[in-house]
Amino acid sequence: MRRERLGFGFALAVLSLWCTMEVVVEAAWSLQTPVKLVWHYYKVHNTCDYAEAYIRHQVESFYKYDKTIAPKLLRLLYADCFVNGCDASVLLDGPNSEKTAPQNRGLGGFAFIDKIKTVLEARCPGVVSCADILNLATRDAVHLAGAPSYPVYTGRRDRMTSTKDSVDLPSPSISWEASLAYFRSRGLDVLDMTTLLGAHSMGRTHCSFIVDRLYNFNDTGKPDPSMKASLLEEMRKLCPPKTRKGQPDPLIFLNPASGSKYSFTNSYYSRVLTNEAVLGVDQQLLYNKDTKQITEEFAAGFEDFRRSFALSMSRMGNINVLTGKEGEIRKNCRFPNKK
């Protein structure tokens, strides 16, 4: 896979993750510039030498009893980074905060982040940001699920405000063109998009996010013709048409092949190729030459997907970060500090 060279600093950290890949797609292979974060920030600055170890220990303890934390944290990190940037604004409570936006319905993992923050405040008070905790905890959780343990640069600070009006996360039924435009608006490329959508290899979603594909695709009154007949039948049994207000909105697995195992695999891409993707945006990967080519490569080689995931997650974690004197280091991830 050919990635356009943007610099060598980050590449040195991930060089060992890469091997020759057959897909030829122009894409970046380093963090977006300027890079304001630091590898092992808290150790380098001697402020909390074992911050990452403390976080990893908490993740490992929780994962033993609840494997859903991996997909929950992945979605939480996406919801944070793609709105204002990776600044932990999605963690803030409030009647009109980001977590109250319709697109963020069903977000989880908040209590888990609270637990880690409590541990860190007891050991290194006022030092480790909620934004860094979210990025590091997500890395460690998905690694336990089968993803690579990629480098996470740190030194982020926390935003002090959060509004639901700022949440512009797109519908999961958008076209690949609209999806790519959205990713590019965040400094990411077609390889990042195709790779990060692979996070749908595990986790669950509400029926309301796919009911249009099942019964009224593009206002036609018919199902999405690209959906495999057996999948359509299966999903319709789980997700009846909405006929009344207050009707239950069941949860379904994003990738039935992974299901309750919540394992990180490349089976998502195989399902896209056989028209068995649950979300519309995932099935759209077949309709662009580059995304289809990448999908075929990842379906054929799990290690190719893992290596690309390592870099794309690091690039996502670099979106519009606050550093230096920007923002603050929250004492409680749910509330800004009192002045």
**Which amino acids are annotated catalytic?**
75
* Three-state DSSP state, 251: strand
The single-letter code of the amino acid at 305 is F
* 80 annotated ligand binder: yes
Please, are residues 227 and 286 in contact by the beta-carbon 8 Å criterion?
no
Q: What's the CA gap between 288 and 306, in Å, rounded?
A: 22
* 87 annotated ligand binder: yes
Task: Count CA within 13 A, CB hemisphere, residue 244.
Answer: 3
* 40 annotated ligand binder: no
Q: What's the CA gap between 168 and 164, in Å, rounded?
A: 9
* 206 annotated ligand binder: no
* 201 annotated ligand binder: no
Q: What's the CA gap between 82 and 319, in Å, rounded?
A: 8
* 89 annotated ligand binder: yes
Q: What's the CA gap between 240 and 226, in Å, rounded?
A: 19
Q: What's the CA gap between 273 and 158, in Å, rounded?
A: 40
Please, are residues 193 and 179 in contact by the beta-carbon 8 Å criterion?
yes
* 85 annotated ligand binder: yes
* 98 annotated ligand binder: yes
Tokens read off for 209:
């996010």
Q: Which residues are annotated as a binding site for heme b?
A: 200
Q: Which residues are annotated as a binding site for Ca(2+)?
A: 80, 83, 85, 87, 89, 98
